[in-house]
C-alpha cells in the first residue's frame, strides 16, 4: 500500500512538472496575450517558466504567475501582474526595469537582484504605478539599486508601494536609493 502511494504521488508530481514549459519573450513591444511574441509560440500559462529580457510587454488584462517569471530587462505596462503564493518573480540583470502604469500584486516571493534599477514611468498624465506586497508575500531586496518614479515626458507618475507582508534587504552591505515612492507599511521590514 505504501509503495502504491509513493508511485501515485511520483506520477502526479511528474505530470505537473512536465506541464510547465519555458516561454521566452521575443523582445518586441506587444501584448502579453499575443502568442506570436513568445518562443515557443503560444501565450504562457500561469505554471510556465517565463523569461522577459527586453522590449515592452503590455499586459492588457491581469496575468497570474504561479511558477516563475524572470524579468531580466525591458518594461511591463498595463494591467496587473499577480504573483501567486506559489510564484516567484526574479528581477535581475543589469538593465533598468520599468513599470509603466501597472500594478505588481505579490502574494509569493519577489527577488530584486542584479544591478538594474526599478523605475515607475508613465506614458500619459496622472498614471499610477503600484507594488502591493500582500500578507504572506515576501519582497527581497538583494542589491544596492534605485527604486524611483521617473518623468518620461509626461510628469512622474504616482508610485506607491503597499506592504502588508515582509520586505527584507539581504546579501548586500550598501543602501538603496528611494525617490518619489509613497511607501505604506503595515507589514514587516
Which helix (H) or strand (E) segment holds residue 5: the answer is helix 2-19
From 1-10, 113-122, 133-142, the region with the lowest mean pLDDT: 1-10
Taking 50 as the threshold, does the pLDDT of residue 158 lie above it? yes
Q: What per-residue confidence (pLDDT) applies to 27? A: 80
Q: What are the angstrom distances between the C-alpha of 109 and each of 3, 8, 103, 127?
A: 35, 30, 15, 26
**Rounded mean pLDDT of the chain?**
87
14 CB-contact burial (10 Å; exposed 0-12 / middle 13-18 / buried 19+): exposed
Over residues 11-34, the pLDDT tens digits come to 444 444 457 899 999 988 999 999
Q: Which of 122-131, 134-143, 153-162 has the highest mean pLDDT?
A: 134-143
> How confident is the model over 77-95, as a mean pLDDT?
96
From 10-24, 42-56, 77-91, 163-177, the region with the lowest mean pLDDT: 10-24
Give the confidence band of 153 by pLDDT, cuts at 50, 70, 90: low
The 8-class DSSP code of residue 188 comes to B
Amino acid at each position: 500500500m505504501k509503495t502504491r502511494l509513493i508511485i501515485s504521488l511520483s506520477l502526479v508530481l511528474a505530470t505537473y512538472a512536465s506541464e510547465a514549459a519555458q516561454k521566452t519573450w521575443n523582445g518586441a513591444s506587444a501584448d502579453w496575450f499575443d502568442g506570436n511574441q513568445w518562443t515557443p509560440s503560444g501565450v504562457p500559462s500561469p505554471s510556465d517558466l517565463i523569461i522577459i529580457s527586453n522590449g515592452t510587454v503590455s499586459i492588457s488584462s491581469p496575468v497570474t504567475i504561479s511558477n516563475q517569471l524572470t524579468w531580466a530587462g525591458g518594461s511591463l505596462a498595463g494591467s496587473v501582474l499577480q504573483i501567486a503564493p506559489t510564484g516567484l518573480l526574479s528581477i535581475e540583470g543589469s538593465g533598468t526595469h520599468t513599470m509603466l502604469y501597472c500594478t505588481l500584486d505579490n502574494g509569493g516571493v519577489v527577488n530584486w537582484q542584479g544591478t538594474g534599477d526599478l523605475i515607475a514611468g508613465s506614458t500619459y498624465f496622472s498614471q499610477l504605478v503600484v507594488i502591493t506586497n500582500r500578507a504572506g508575500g515576501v519582497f527581497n531586496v538583494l542589491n544596492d539599486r534605485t527604486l524611483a518614479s521617473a518623468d518620461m515626458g509626461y510628469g512622474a507618475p504616482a508610485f506607491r508601494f503597499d506592504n502588508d507582508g515582509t520586505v527584507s534587504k539581504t546579501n548586500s552591505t550598501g543602501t538603496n536609493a528611494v525617490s518619489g515612492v509613497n511607501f505604506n507599511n503595515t507589514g514587516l521590514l
